[in-house]
Homo-oligomer: A and B are copies of this chain.
């Protein structure tokens, strides 16, 4: 199902409580995720912008899919 969310907006919450939102351009079965036009949020506040970021799957708590599939 994650494959169907490719190129959709997602929020990736990590174990350290930080959240990354952006367009998911790639995801694999370990939940390694590539986000483009991403931003980092902590407690709902934007902390930084990321053009392109590759998140290592073992840090992921969950991926929330924001767009309709």
Contacts and interface: CB of A to CB of B under 8 A. Distances in A.
From A26, A54, A61, A62, name the one whose CB has the most chain B CB atoms within 10 angstroms.
A62
B54 A62 contact: yes
Oligomeric state, in copies: 7
A62 B57 contact: no
A14 interface: yes
Interface in A26-69: 26, 31-32, 34, 50-66, 69
Interface residues of A, number: 29
Nearest to A66: B51
Contacts of A32: 31
A24 to B, nearest CB: 11
B64 A1 contact: no
